[in-house]
Structure 1
Amino acid sequence: MTDNLSLINRARAAFPQITPAIGAFAAVDEQGGDSFAAIRDTAAILTATNDLIPPLYQRADATDERVLAWVDALASSSVPNQYSKVPYLKGGPSLLLLGPTGVGKTYQAYGALRRLSIIGIGCAPAAASITDVFAKMRPRPGVDSEAVFASYAASKLLFLDDLGAAKSTEWTEEVTYRLVNYRYEHQLPTVFTSNAAPKELGERVGERVASRLMEMTQRVVIKGADRRLGGAA
Protein backbone atom coordinates (compact mmCIF):
# COMPACT_ATOMS: atom_id res chain seq x y z
CA MET A 1 0.00 0.00 0.00
CA THR A 2 2.92 2.33 0.71
CA ASP A 3 4.13 2.12 -2.89
CA ASN A 4 0.63 2.87 -4.19
CA LEU A 5 0.28 5.89 -1.91
CA SER A 6 3.66 7.16 -3.04
CA LEU A 7 2.59 6.84 -6.69
CA ILE A 8 -0.65 8.72 -6.02
CA ASN A 9 1.05 11.48 -4.07
CA ARG A 10 3.70 12.03 -6.76
CA ALA A 11 1.07 12.21 -9.50
CA ARG A 12 -1.07 14.66 -7.57
CA ALA A 13 1.91 16.81 -6.66
CA ALA A 14 2.83 17.10 -10.36
CA PHE A 15 -0.68 18.38 -11.19
CA PRO A 16 -1.79 20.37 -8.12
CA GLN A 17 -4.36 22.26 -10.22
CA ILE A 18 -6.45 19.08 -10.57
CA THR A 19 -8.84 18.21 -7.74
CA PRO A 20 -9.06 14.45 -7.09
CA ALA A 21 -12.39 12.73 -6.58
CA ILE A 22 -11.11 11.19 -3.34
CA GLY A 23 -9.11 13.78 -1.49
CA ALA A 24 -8.55 11.86 1.75
CA PHE A 25 -8.58 8.07 1.60
CA ALA A 26 -9.30 7.79 5.34
CA ALA A 27 -12.72 9.29 4.62
CA VAL A 28 -13.61 6.28 2.50
CA ASP A 29 -13.77 4.07 5.60
CA GLU A 30 -16.01 6.64 7.29
CA GLN A 31 -18.37 6.41 4.31
CA GLY A 32 -18.64 2.64 4.68
CA GLY A 33 -16.07 1.84 2.00
CA ASP A 34 -12.63 0.27 1.96
CA SER A 35 -9.73 2.74 1.93
CA PHE A 36 -7.26 0.00 0.97
CA ALA A 37 -9.35 -0.77 -2.13
CA ALA A 38 -9.60 2.95 -2.89
CA ILE A 39 -5.83 3.38 -2.82
CA ARG A 40 -5.28 0.24 -4.87
CA ASP A 41 -7.82 1.18 -7.53
CA THR A 42 -6.65 4.81 -7.77
CA ALA A 43 -3.05 3.70 -8.21
CA ALA A 44 -4.13 1.24 -10.91
CA ILE A 45 -5.93 4.04 -12.78
CA LEU A 46 -2.80 6.20 -12.71
CA THR A 47 -0.55 3.33 -13.79
CA ALA A 48 -2.79 2.41 -16.72
CA THR A 49 -2.78 5.99 -18.00
CA ASN A 50 0.96 6.39 -17.45
CA ASP A 51 1.56 3.27 -19.53
CA LEU A 52 -0.76 4.50 -22.27
CA ILE A 53 0.54 8.04 -22.80
CA PRO A 54 3.73 8.40 -24.90
CA PRO A 55 6.78 10.02 -23.23
CA LEU A 56 6.33 13.24 -25.24
CA TYR A 57 2.95 13.82 -23.59
CA GLN A 58 3.65 12.59 -20.07
CA ARG A 59 3.29 16.14 -18.74
CA ALA A 60 0.29 17.01 -20.89
CA ASP A 61 -2.63 18.76 -19.24
CA ALA A 62 -5.77 19.97 -20.96
CA THR A 63 -5.97 23.77 -20.94
CA ASP A 64 -8.73 24.56 -23.44
CA GLU A 65 -11.87 25.46 -21.49
CA ARG A 66 -14.04 23.44 -23.87
CA VAL A 67 -11.92 20.33 -23.33
CA LEU A 68 -11.99 20.91 -19.57
CA ALA A 69 -15.79 21.10 -19.74
CA TRP A 70 -15.83 17.74 -21.51
CA VAL A 71 -13.62 16.21 -18.79
CA ASP A 72 -15.97 17.60 -16.15
CA ALA A 73 -18.97 16.09 -17.94
CA LEU A 74 -17.37 12.64 -17.94
CA ALA A 75 -16.36 12.96 -14.30
CA SER A 76 -19.89 14.04 -13.35
CA SER A 77 -21.42 11.03 -15.09
CA SER A 78 -19.12 8.54 -13.35
CA VAL A 79 -20.51 6.21 -10.67
CA PRO A 80 -18.60 5.36 -7.45
CA ASN A 81 -17.74 1.74 -6.75
CA GLN A 82 -19.67 0.42 -3.76
CA TYR A 83 -16.56 -0.59 -1.81
CA SER A 84 -13.69 1.61 -2.96
CA LYS A 85 -15.84 4.69 -3.67
CA VAL A 86 -13.61 5.21 -6.73
CA PRO A 87 -15.75 6.63 -9.58
CA TYR A 88 -15.93 4.64 -12.81
CA LEU A 89 -16.97 5.93 -16.20
CA LYS A 90 -20.46 4.84 -17.28
CA GLY A 91 -20.83 6.90 -20.44
CA GLY A 92 -20.83 10.49 -21.55
CA PRO A 93 -20.30 12.71 -24.58
CA SER A 94 -17.60 12.39 -27.23
CA LEU A 95 -15.20 15.09 -28.35
CA LEU A 96 -13.87 16.09 -31.79
CA LEU A 97 -10.79 18.31 -31.90
CA LEU A 98 -10.24 19.95 -35.27
CA GLY A 99 -7.43 22.19 -36.46
CA PRO A 100 -4.30 22.33 -38.62
CA THR A 101 -1.11 20.43 -37.89
CA GLY A 102 0.81 21.34 -34.75
CA VAL A 103 -1.78 23.47 -32.90
CA GLY A 104 -1.91 21.11 -29.90
CA LYS A 105 -4.85 18.79 -30.56
CA THR A 106 -3.00 15.66 -29.47
CA TYR A 107 -1.61 17.50 -26.42
CA GLN A 108 -5.11 18.52 -25.37
CA ALA A 109 -6.45 14.99 -25.90
CA TYR A 110 -3.72 13.29 -23.87
CA GLY A 111 -4.07 16.06 -21.32
CA ALA A 112 -7.74 15.16 -20.98
CA LEU A 113 -6.87 11.52 -20.35
CA ARG A 114 -4.25 12.62 -17.83
CA ARG A 115 -6.81 14.80 -16.02
CA LEU A 116 -9.24 11.93 -15.72
CA SER A 117 -6.53 9.75 -14.19
CA ILE A 118 -5.45 12.41 -11.68
CA ILE A 119 -9.08 12.98 -10.72
CA GLY A 120 -9.23 9.22 -10.25
CA ILE A 121 -11.87 8.23 -12.81
CA GLY A 122 -11.67 4.58 -13.79
CA CYS A 123 -12.18 4.37 -17.54
CA ALA A 124 -9.60 1.87 -18.91
CA PRO A 125 -8.77 4.11 -21.88
CA ALA A 126 -7.25 3.05 -25.18
CA ALA A 127 -5.39 5.39 -27.53
CA ALA A 128 -3.87 5.18 -31.01
CA SER A 129 -3.57 7.09 -34.23
CA ILE A 130 -5.89 5.82 -36.94
CA THR A 131 -2.82 4.84 -38.97
CA ASP A 132 -1.60 2.64 -36.11
CA VAL A 133 -5.00 0.99 -35.91
CA PHE A 134 -4.78 0.20 -39.62
CA ALA A 135 -1.24 -1.14 -39.23
CA LYS A 136 -2.18 -3.42 -36.34
CA MET A 137 -5.32 -4.68 -38.09
CA ARG A 138 -3.75 -5.29 -41.49
CA PRO A 139 -4.35 -8.95 -42.35
CA ARG A 140 -1.25 -11.13 -42.02
CA PRO A 141 -0.33 -14.48 -40.48
CA GLY A 142 -0.60 -14.57 -36.72
CA VAL A 143 -2.79 -11.47 -36.42
CA ASP A 144 -6.44 -11.62 -35.37
CA SER A 145 -7.67 -8.44 -37.03
CA GLU A 146 -11.08 -8.63 -35.42
CA ALA A 147 -9.58 -8.94 -31.93
CA VAL A 148 -7.48 -5.84 -32.60
CA PHE A 149 -10.57 -4.03 -33.83
CA ALA A 150 -12.55 -5.04 -30.74
CA SER A 151 -9.81 -3.82 -28.39
CA TYR A 152 -10.38 -0.29 -29.71
CA ALA A 153 -14.06 -0.40 -30.60
CA ALA A 154 -15.27 -1.68 -27.22
CA SER A 155 -12.95 0.36 -24.99
CA LYS A 156 -14.76 2.32 -22.27
CA LEU A 157 -12.90 5.43 -23.43
CA LEU A 158 -11.00 5.79 -26.70
CA PHE A 159 -8.68 8.45 -28.05
CA LEU A 160 -8.42 8.13 -31.84
CA ASP A 161 -5.84 10.49 -33.31
CA ASP A 162 -5.45 11.87 -36.84
CA LEU A 163 -8.70 10.83 -38.49
CA GLY A 164 -8.38 11.29 -42.23
CA ALA A 165 -4.56 11.25 -42.17
CA ALA A 166 -4.07 7.91 -43.92
CA LYS A 167 -4.30 7.29 -47.64
CA SER A 168 -7.90 6.38 -48.37
CA THR A 169 -8.66 2.91 -49.67
CA GLU A 170 -11.81 0.83 -49.62
CA TRP A 171 -10.40 -1.14 -46.68
CA THR A 172 -9.35 1.89 -44.58
CA GLU A 173 -12.72 3.53 -45.20
CA GLU A 174 -14.48 0.36 -44.04
CA VAL A 175 -12.39 0.09 -40.87
CA THR A 176 -12.90 3.77 -40.02
CA TYR A 177 -16.63 3.52 -40.59
CA ARG A 178 -16.97 0.35 -38.51
CA LEU A 179 -14.96 1.83 -35.65
CA VAL A 180 -16.80 5.15 -35.54
CA ASN A 181 -20.17 3.49 -36.04
CA TYR A 182 -19.57 1.05 -33.17
CA ARG A 183 -18.69 3.90 -30.82
CA TYR A 184 -21.71 5.84 -32.11
CA GLU A 185 -24.23 3.01 -31.69
CA HIS A 186 -22.96 1.99 -28.25
CA GLN A 187 -22.68 5.61 -27.07
CA LEU A 188 -19.10 5.15 -25.91
CA PRO A 189 -17.19 8.36 -25.14
CA THR A 190 -14.43 8.97 -27.65
CA VAL A 191 -11.90 11.70 -28.34
CA PHE A 192 -11.20 12.21 -32.05
CA THR A 193 -8.68 14.54 -33.64
CA SER A 194 -8.36 15.54 -37.28
CA ASN A 195 -6.39 18.06 -39.30
CA ALA A 196 -9.43 18.57 -41.52
CA ALA A 197 -11.33 21.81 -41.46
CA PRO A 198 -14.99 21.34 -40.46
CA LYS A 199 -16.22 21.82 -44.05
CA GLU A 200 -13.62 19.32 -45.34
CA LEU A 201 -14.37 16.54 -42.86
CA GLY A 202 -16.70 14.63 -45.17
CA GLU A 203 -14.11 14.62 -47.96
CA ARG A 204 -11.39 13.33 -45.61
CA VAL A 205 -13.26 10.62 -43.69
CA GLY A 206 -16.35 9.95 -45.80
CA GLU A 207 -19.83 11.36 -45.45
CA ARG A 208 -21.17 8.45 -43.36
CA VAL A 209 -18.39 8.87 -40.80
CA ALA A 210 -18.64 12.67 -40.82
CA SER A 211 -22.40 12.51 -40.23
CA ARG A 212 -21.95 10.32 -37.15
CA LEU A 213 -19.15 12.50 -35.82
CA MET A 214 -21.30 15.60 -36.16
CA GLU A 215 -24.08 13.97 -34.15
CA MET A 216 -22.06 12.19 -31.46
CA THR A 217 -19.37 14.76 -30.60
CA GLN A 218 -18.85 18.15 -29.09
CA ARG A 219 -16.67 19.93 -31.66
CA VAL A 220 -13.72 22.09 -30.70
CA VAL A 221 -11.78 23.97 -33.38
CA ILE A 222 -8.25 24.79 -32.22
CA LYS A 223 -6.48 27.62 -34.02
CA GLY A 224 -2.92 28.91 -34.02
CA ALA A 225 0.52 28.40 -35.55
CA ASP A 226 2.39 25.10 -35.73
CA ARG A 227 3.95 24.81 -32.27
CA ARG A 228 6.46 22.23 -33.47
CA LEU A 229 8.04 24.70 -35.88
CA GLY A 230 8.50 27.08 -32.98
CA GLY A 231 10.21 24.46 -30.87
CA ALA A 232 7.26 23.84 -28.55
CA ALA A 233 6.52 20.32 -27.34
Structure 2
Amino acid sequence: MRTRNREPQLLGSEGAVDRMAQILAARNIDPVRIDALPDEPEPFSPLDALLTAMPPRYQAAVADHPQVLDWVRQVVEAAVAPSRGARRQVTTGPSLLMAGVVGAGKTHQAYGAVRRLVQSGVGVRWRATTAADLYAELRPRPGADSERELAAVSRCPLLIIDDLGAAKASEWVEEVTYRLINRRYNYELPTLITTNLAIKDLRAYLGDRVTSRLAQMTTRVEFEQVDRRRHRAAA
Protein backbone atom coordinates (compact mmCIF):
# COMPACT_ATOMS: atom_id res chain seq x y z
CA MET A 1 0.00 0.00 0.00
CA ARG A 2 1.36 3.39 -0.94
CA THR A 3 1.34 6.03 1.79
CA ARG A 4 0.58 9.56 0.70
CA ASN A 5 3.07 12.12 1.95
CA ARG A 6 1.23 14.76 3.90
CA GLU A 7 2.65 18.21 3.61
CA PRO A 8 2.30 20.32 6.77
CA GLN A 9 -0.40 22.86 6.30
CA LEU A 10 0.59 26.42 7.18
CA LEU A 11 -2.13 28.80 8.14
CA GLY A 12 -2.18 32.12 6.37
CA SER A 13 -3.12 35.32 8.15
CA GLU A 14 -6.82 34.73 7.48
CA GLY A 15 -6.57 31.13 8.65
CA ALA A 16 -4.84 32.21 11.86
CA VAL A 17 -7.58 34.76 12.53
CA ASP A 18 -10.26 32.10 11.96
CA ARG A 19 -8.45 29.69 14.23
CA MET A 20 -8.19 32.30 17.00
CA ALA A 21 -11.90 33.10 16.60
CA GLN A 22 -12.72 29.39 17.03
CA ILE A 23 -10.61 29.20 20.20
CA LEU A 24 -12.27 32.29 21.68
CA ALA A 25 -15.73 31.02 20.77
CA ALA A 26 -15.02 27.66 22.40
CA ARG A 27 -14.16 29.53 25.60
CA ASN A 28 -17.16 31.87 25.38
CA ILE A 29 -14.91 34.91 24.97
CA ASP A 30 -16.20 37.82 22.91
CA PRO A 31 -13.35 39.15 20.70
CA VAL A 32 -15.11 42.53 20.45
CA ARG A 33 -14.83 42.97 24.22
CA ILE A 34 -11.15 42.06 24.11
CA ASP A 35 -10.48 44.68 21.45
CA ALA A 36 -12.26 47.25 23.59
CA LEU A 37 -10.01 46.69 26.59
CA PRO A 38 -7.74 49.69 27.30
CA ASP A 39 -4.00 49.34 26.99
CA GLU A 40 -2.24 48.43 30.21
CA PRO A 41 -0.45 51.43 31.71
CA GLU A 42 3.29 51.35 32.09
CA PRO A 43 4.26 49.93 35.49
CA PHE A 44 5.38 52.43 38.12
CA SER A 45 9.06 52.79 38.77
CA PRO A 46 10.07 52.10 42.40
CA LEU A 47 10.46 55.84 42.97
CA ASP A 48 7.02 56.59 41.48
CA ALA A 49 5.48 53.94 43.72
CA LEU A 50 7.25 55.46 46.72
CA LEU A 51 5.97 58.95 45.97
CA THR A 52 2.35 57.79 45.79
CA ALA A 53 2.63 56.64 49.41
CA MET A 54 4.52 59.70 50.65
CA PRO A 55 2.88 62.91 51.95
CA PRO A 56 3.00 65.61 49.24
CA ARG A 57 5.00 67.92 51.51
CA TYR A 58 7.89 65.45 51.59
CA GLN A 59 7.81 63.99 48.07
CA ALA A 60 10.81 66.12 47.09
CA ALA A 61 12.63 65.66 50.41
CA VAL A 62 16.39 65.31 50.11
CA ALA A 63 18.59 63.80 52.81
CA ASP A 64 21.83 65.78 53.11
CA HIS A 65 22.84 65.41 56.76
CA PRO A 66 26.15 63.48 56.90
CA GLN A 67 24.95 61.07 59.60
CA VAL A 68 21.69 60.42 57.75
CA LEU A 69 23.60 59.72 54.54
CA ASP A 70 25.89 57.36 56.43
CA TRP A 71 22.81 55.56 57.76
CA VAL A 72 21.50 55.13 54.20
CA ARG A 73 24.84 53.67 53.12
CA GLN A 74 24.83 51.15 55.98
CA VAL A 75 21.26 50.04 55.30
CA VAL A 76 22.00 49.60 51.58
CA GLU A 77 25.08 47.52 52.39
CA ALA A 78 23.03 45.31 54.73
CA ALA A 79 20.28 44.67 52.12
CA VAL A 80 20.05 41.08 50.87
CA ALA A 81 18.35 39.38 47.91
CA PRO A 82 15.60 36.91 48.88
CA SER A 83 16.62 34.65 45.99
CA ARG A 84 19.27 34.44 43.30
CA GLY A 85 18.82 37.18 40.72
CA ALA A 86 16.22 39.05 42.79
CA ARG A 87 16.59 42.67 43.81
CA ARG A 88 18.17 43.19 47.21
CA GLN A 89 15.72 44.12 49.98
CA VAL A 90 16.09 46.07 53.20
CA THR A 91 15.93 43.51 56.02
CA THR A 92 18.10 44.60 58.95
CA GLY A 93 20.23 47.59 59.74
CA PRO A 94 21.00 50.43 62.14
CA SER A 95 18.54 52.99 63.48
CA LEU A 96 18.65 56.75 64.01
CA LEU A 97 17.25 58.97 66.75
CA MET A 98 17.01 62.47 65.31
CA ALA A 99 16.64 65.11 68.02
CA GLY A 100 16.15 68.85 67.69
CA VAL A 101 13.73 71.72 68.01
CA VAL A 102 10.47 71.94 66.07
CA GLY A 103 11.14 72.87 62.44
CA ALA A 104 14.81 71.80 62.41
CA GLY A 105 14.22 69.49 59.44
CA LYS A 106 14.17 66.08 61.15
CA THR A 107 11.07 64.79 59.35
CA HIS A 108 12.38 66.13 56.03
CA GLN A 109 15.60 64.19 56.52
CA ALA A 110 13.72 61.01 57.44
CA TYR A 111 11.61 61.01 54.28
CA GLY A 112 14.64 62.05 52.25
CA ALA A 113 16.49 59.02 53.61
CA VAL A 114 13.74 56.70 52.36
CA ARG A 115 13.86 58.35 48.90
CA ARG A 116 17.62 57.90 48.88
CA LEU A 117 17.26 54.20 49.71
CA VAL A 118 14.85 53.66 46.82
CA GLN A 119 17.07 55.63 44.44
CA SER A 120 20.01 53.40 45.41
CA GLY A 121 18.20 50.44 43.85
CA VAL A 122 17.25 48.37 46.87
CA GLY A 123 13.69 47.32 47.58
CA VAL A 124 12.16 48.63 50.78
CA ARG A 125 8.83 48.03 52.51
CA TRP A 126 8.31 50.91 54.86
CA ARG A 127 5.78 52.72 56.98
CA ALA A 128 5.64 56.21 58.49
CA THR A 129 3.52 57.44 61.37
CA THR A 130 3.55 60.07 64.06
CA ALA A 131 3.73 58.71 67.58
CA ALA A 132 0.34 60.26 68.36
CA ASP A 133 -1.30 58.59 65.35
CA LEU A 134 0.36 55.29 66.21
CA TYR A 135 -1.04 55.30 69.74
CA ALA A 136 -4.49 56.21 68.40
CA GLU A 137 -4.40 53.19 66.06
CA LEU A 138 -3.17 50.83 68.77
CA ARG A 139 -5.56 51.91 71.50
CA PRO A 140 -8.03 49.07 72.19
CA ARG A 141 -11.49 49.76 70.75
CA PRO A 142 -14.46 47.71 69.51
CA GLY A 143 -13.97 46.16 66.07
CA ALA A 144 -10.20 46.68 66.00
CA ASP A 145 -7.46 44.12 66.56
CA SER A 146 -4.85 46.30 68.24
CA GLU A 147 -2.52 43.36 68.91
CA ARG A 148 -2.44 42.45 65.23
CA GLU A 149 -1.76 46.08 64.30
CA LEU A 150 1.08 46.29 66.82
CA ALA A 151 2.60 43.11 65.39
CA ALA A 152 2.40 44.51 61.84
CA VAL A 153 4.09 47.78 62.81
CA SER A 154 6.73 45.93 64.83
CA ARG A 155 7.65 43.69 61.88
CA CYS A 156 7.74 46.39 59.19
CA PRO A 157 11.23 46.31 57.61
CA LEU A 158 11.63 50.10 57.85
CA LEU A 159 9.64 52.34 60.18
CA ILE A 160 9.53 56.11 60.65
CA ILE A 161 8.21 57.22 64.06
CA ASP A 162 7.78 60.98 63.95
CA ASP A 163 7.50 63.23 67.03
CA LEU A 164 8.18 60.63 69.69
CA GLY A 165 7.31 62.25 73.00
CA ALA A 166 4.63 64.56 71.62
CA ALA A 167 1.68 62.46 72.84
CA LYS A 168 0.46 62.53 76.42
CA ALA A 169 2.47 60.24 78.67
CA SER A 170 0.82 57.33 80.48
CA GLU A 171 1.64 53.82 81.67
CA TRP A 172 -0.14 52.44 78.59
CA VAL A 173 1.93 54.64 76.23
CA GLU A 174 5.13 53.53 77.95
CA GLU A 175 4.19 49.85 77.73
CA VAL A 176 3.15 49.96 74.05
CA THR A 177 6.28 51.91 73.10
CA TYR A 178 8.48 49.43 74.94
CA ARG A 179 6.89 46.45 73.17
CA LEU A 180 7.34 48.11 69.78
CA ILE A 181 10.90 49.30 70.33
CA ASN A 182 11.99 46.07 72.02
CA ARG A 183 10.87 43.94 69.07
CA ARG A 184 12.62 46.18 66.57
CA TYR A 185 15.71 46.16 68.78
CA ASN A 186 15.76 42.35 68.99
CA TYR A 187 15.32 41.87 65.24
CA GLU A 188 17.64 44.76 64.28
CA LEU A 189 15.00 46.42 62.11
CA PRO A 190 16.02 49.88 60.88
CA THR A 191 13.96 52.62 62.52
CA LEU A 192 14.03 56.38 61.99
CA ILE A 193 12.80 58.22 65.07
CA THR A 194 12.38 61.98 65.43
CA THR A 195 11.82 63.80 68.71
CA ASN A 196 11.79 67.33 70.06
CA LEU A 197 12.84 66.08 73.50
CA ALA A 198 16.28 65.76 75.01
CA ILE A 199 17.35 62.27 76.07
CA LYS A 200 16.88 63.12 79.75
CA ASP A 201 13.33 64.22 78.96
CA LEU A 202 12.69 61.06 76.94
CA ARG A 203 13.72 59.01 79.95
CA ALA A 204 11.20 60.82 82.12
CA TYR A 205 8.54 60.45 79.42
CA LEU A 206 9.07 56.81 78.36
CA GLY A 207 10.89 55.23 81.27
CA ASP A 208 14.23 53.50 81.65
CA ARG A 209 13.37 50.36 79.63
CA VAL A 210 12.55 52.26 76.43
CA THR A 211 15.38 54.78 76.65
CA SER A 212 17.86 52.00 77.38
CA ARG A 213 16.80 50.17 74.19
CA LEU A 214 16.94 53.41 72.19
CA ALA A 215 20.43 54.15 73.47
CA GLN A 216 21.64 50.73 72.32
CA MET A 217 19.89 50.50 68.95
CA THR A 218 20.19 54.06 67.62
CA THR A 219 22.78 56.59 66.66
CA ARG A 220 21.72 59.99 67.95
CA VAL A 221 21.71 62.83 65.43
CA GLU A 222 21.64 66.38 66.82
CA PHE A 223 20.00 69.00 64.62
CA GLU A 224 20.83 72.68 64.69
CA GLN A 225 18.80 74.79 67.06
CA VAL A 226 17.11 76.73 64.26
CA ASP A 227 13.48 76.46 63.19
CA ARG A 228 13.92 76.07 59.42
CA ARG A 229 10.24 76.75 58.80
CA ARG A 230 10.47 80.18 60.39
CA HIS A 231 13.77 80.81 58.64
CA ARG A 232 12.25 80.08 55.22
CA ALA A 233 9.22 82.23 56.01
CA ALA A 234 11.45 85.16 56.99
CA ALA A 235 13.49 84.77 53.81
TM-score by length of 1: 0.77
> How many Å apart are 1:118 and its aligned residue?
1.4
**Cross-structure match for 2:229:** 228
Q: Using the alignment, how far apart are the partners of 1:177 and 1:203 within structure 2?
A: 14
Which aligned pairs between 1:1-233 and structure 2 lie closer than 5 A? 3-4=42-43, 7=44, 43=45, 45-80=46-81, 82=83, 84-231=85-232
In the TM superposition, what whole-angstrom CA distance separates every residue of 1:70-106 from its partner, at most 9, and x where no partner exists?
A: 0000001112354554221131111110111110000
1:33-80 residue CA offsets vs partner (Å, 9 max, x unmatched): xxxxxxxxxx3x435422332111010010101100000000011123
Structure 1: how far apart are the matches of 2:52 and 2:198?
31
Whether the aligned pair in 2 keeps the contact of 1:49 and 1:125 (CA below 8 Å) is no
- Name the structure 1 match of 2:14: none
Distance (whole Å) between structure 1 residues aligned to residue 191 and residue 217 of structure 2: 9
SS, match of residue 179 in structure 1: helix
1:186-219: per-residue Cα shift (whole Å, max 9, x none)? Answer: 1111111111123322123222111100000111
> SS of the counterpart of 1:91?
coil
Please report the RMSD computed on the Cα atoms of aligned residues, expressed in angstroms. Answer: 1.9
* 3-state DSSP of counterpart to 2:119: helix
Do the aligned residues in 2 keep the contact of 1:52 with 1:126 (CA within 8 Å)?
Answer: no
Q: Which segments of 5 or more consecutive residues in structure 1 lack a partner in the other structure?
A: 8-42
* Counterpart residue identity of residue 76, structure 1: E
Specify the alignment match of 2:26 in structure 1.
none
* Residue 130 (structure 1) shift: 0.9
Task: State the distance in 2 between where 1:51 and 1:143 align.
Answer: 26
Q: Which amino acid aligns with 1:223?
A: E
Contact 1:52/1:127 (8 A) holds in 2:
no
Shift of 1:111: 0.5
* Alpha-carbon distance in 2 for matches of 1:81, 1:171: 37
CA distance in structure 1 between the aligned counterparts of 2:202 and 2:83, rounded to whole angstroms: 43
User: 1: CA distance between counterparts of 2:148 and 2:175?
Assistant: 16
TM-score by length of 2: 0.77
CA distance in 1, matches of 2:141, 2:132: 16
Within 2, Cα distance between the matches of 1:84 and 1:178?
Answer: 36
SS at match of 2:230: coil
Q: Which runs of 5+ in 2 are unaligned?
A: 1-39
Q: Paired residue for 1:36?
A: none
The structure with more radius of gyration: 2
User: In structure 1, how many angstroms separate the alpha carbons of the residues matched to 2:84 and 2:77?
Assistant: 19
Q: Distance in 1 between matches of 2:48 and 2:143?
A: 29
